Structure 1
């Protein structure tokens, strides 16, 4: 561009000068600029490739982690299902074991001890002496009445000495029978005693049956649980004989004598506790029944209400009071009772064989 043109158009002149400088710079630095652009391009391309590769690797890693997590969750779920199935199987075994114990308690053990409980109850609350006294007095009264009639007939019709003597002898026998009969006061006292003792025997029979049933069930369940664990340890020890925990458990297994002593505790209620229960019940019931006269007409609803009131007050006592009917104060049977129970066990073969619930009914069948 000429000088005149530059003066005429200064902006164009500046632009042309600027472009000329750039072109001159490009010609001088073309190689360096191309190398720089190439390096920058390679760097950008490498960065983009790295980001894509990193994103792909991260996605693959996340996918692998998800797969591993799924595999782990499936393994945990399978282990949980297996553990739950094992627990359900063990629970079913334990439930079947204790159900068999309950059936044995209902069908074998309790029926075997109930006759003994009945005998001891009738011995503790004995009504035979009172009923025999009333029956004997009735017989003596009938004999006296018959003798009086015979004596009167012999005295009136016999004019001779023999007839009169015979009539007098029979009259004397009738007088002796009348003297041996009970008075009205004695009969009333006996009937009052029969009233109290009948209530006592009925209620004591109900209470003792409930206590013995509960105690025997708890006793068999406790011992059955221990026998079940012992059987499980023996079954597991067959595969691992050197396991120290199983060896230690085997040393803690209940000996047969200890099992006999534990089972013999059920004999305490019929032998000793029932007599204490009868004494306490009689002392408690007698004042209540004084309000009930023998001449009163008692309806069924009144009788049930009376029994309900007696039960409500007597059964509301402290639990320790009921415990002393079931167990000795020191939880040890008296020596004579323990020896008798152990001798009965030895002769009848009762006890726990350690074979679990299978042989329970057979070994418990000798109770009582």
Structure 2
């Protein structure tokens, strides 16, 4: 017992130091292991983040291709058909040609009225084509980005699959939501034509058929018509041409136009459709969308004027040509605006605008910015 006490008394300092060293080493080891684990976890999180970013980018590009190759071509084709039907100018031009070949068939007053009507409808048609093509191409891209983001998030969370036959939204809801791209042509066209014609009548009332027009004056006239139209009603009145007030109204309109719209007795969840439409309406009403719409419209009109400048030929373009002589070219240009998207240079111009590309990148990445 005494020897143990003597040993402790002689060596307790060494024991304390040894224990301290061992304890510190153990603590350092645990800290090292914890640090290594945190580093490993961080690396895995970074790898997962990079993988997610890559997946998002791939999915984003896929969504844009769907818009460009499927949804938009169909919507533009239907729009072109409706514009041709509702703003058919052949009757007026045939009457004028008849009056030119057979002078006694039309009075001077009738000729003047026909020319005035042709003037108004020619500018109505080209202004409507500029606006509808531009806004529809932007709108369809909004649609597919919102839908694509929802589907990606749902799939990532394991909430759904595009191959799930038991999910009514997957089977019907995507089609129903994308089908709203035709709302403009089906239900908004008559009101749109009336209001753009009213704007054209106001802008053109002091412009005579003999007045000289060049590219600059034509550009100014079309821009004035578009601005006059956009200033009608409330700040976002034009959204009503693209979207119904709510999903119930849309469901009712779709049901009356087709007895078997869904092809099944199972209807998509209307709350999900309403959510998608509400998000779309919020984006269209945002200041950011208004900005890219103005930029796109301006660039489309500028591109049109380049075509007019090339077509004027002979003489000095700055002198212009009489408005009456320019009207057939105006009608022709209006038709070129509604060509199939893969051949439509105006749609290509809109797609390539940096402001437009940035807008859709932000939309896809963070829908909350627009709500």
Number of equivalent positions: 259
1:133-282 equivalences under 5 Å are: 133-141=95-103, 178=104, 181-232=105-156, 254-282=169-197
1:32-47 equivalences under 5 Å are: none
Residue 214 of structure 2 aligns with which residue? 299
Distance, in Å, in 1 between the alignment partners of 2:23 and 2:70 is 68
Post-superposition offset of 1:339: 5.4
Distance, in Å, in 1 between the alignment partners of 2:168 and 2:14 is 69
Residue 170 of structure 1 aligns with which residue? none
Post-superposition offset of 1:324: 0.3
Distance, in Å, in 1 between the alignment partners of 2:177 and 2:113 is 44
- CA separation of 1:49 and 1:207: change in aligned 2, threshold 3 A: farther
Post-superposition offset of 1:210: 2.0
Post-superposition offset of 1:334: 6.1
Which 10-residue stretch deviates more, 92-101 or 220-229?
A: 220-229
Residue-by-residue CA offset, 1:113-146 (whole Å, 9 max, x unaligned): 21210111122323222112212222322xxxxx
- For the residue of structure 1 that corresponds to 2:237, the secondary structure is helix
Contact 2:96 2:111 in 1 (8 A): yes
Residue-by-residue CA offset, 1:127-180 (whole Å, 9 max, x unaligned): 222112212222322xxxxxxxxxxxxxxxxxxxxxxxxxxxxxxxxxxxx2xx
TM-score scaled by structure 2?
Answer: 0.60
Distance, in Å, in 2 between the alignment partners of 1:72 and 1:251 is 46
Distance, in Å, in 1 between the alignment partners of 2:196 and 2:181 is 21
Higher relative contact order (CA 8 A, sep 6+): 2
Contact 1:230 1:253 in 2 (8 A): no
Contact 1:264 1:338 in 2 (8 A): no
Post-superposition offset of 1:272: 1.5
Residue 83 of structure 2 aligns with which residue? 121
- Bigger radius of gyration among the two: 1
Structure 1 residue 325 corresponds to structure 2 residue 287:
no
Residue 101 of structure 1 aligns with which residue? 63
Distance, in Å, in 2 between the alignment partners of 1:70 and 1:211 is 59
- CA separation of 1:226 and 1:235: change in aligned 2, threshold 3 A: closer
Post-superposition offset of 1:189: 1.7
Distance, in Å, in 2 between the alignment partners of 1:192 and 1:92 is 57
Residue 67 of structure 1 aligns with which residue? 29
Contact 1:260 1:342 in 2 (8 A): no
- CA separation of 1:55 and 1:311: change in aligned 2, threshold 3 A: farther
- For the residue of structure 2 that corresponds to 1:328, the secondary structure is coil
Distance, in Å, in 1 between the alignment partners of 2:160 and 2:123 is 55
TM-score scaled by structure 1?
Answer: 0.61
Structure 1 gaps, min length 5: 1-37, 142-177, 238-248, 352-368
Post-superposition offset of 1:100: 1.2
Distance, in Å, in 1 between the alignment partners of 2:34 and 2:168 is 41
- For the residue of structure 1 that corresponds to 2:213, the secondary structure is coil
Post-superposition offset of 1:340: 4.2
Contact 1:277 1:325 in 2 (8 A): yes
Residue 42 of structure 2 aligns with which residue? 80
CA RMSD after TM alignment:
3.4
Contact 1:261 1:342 in 2 (8 A): no
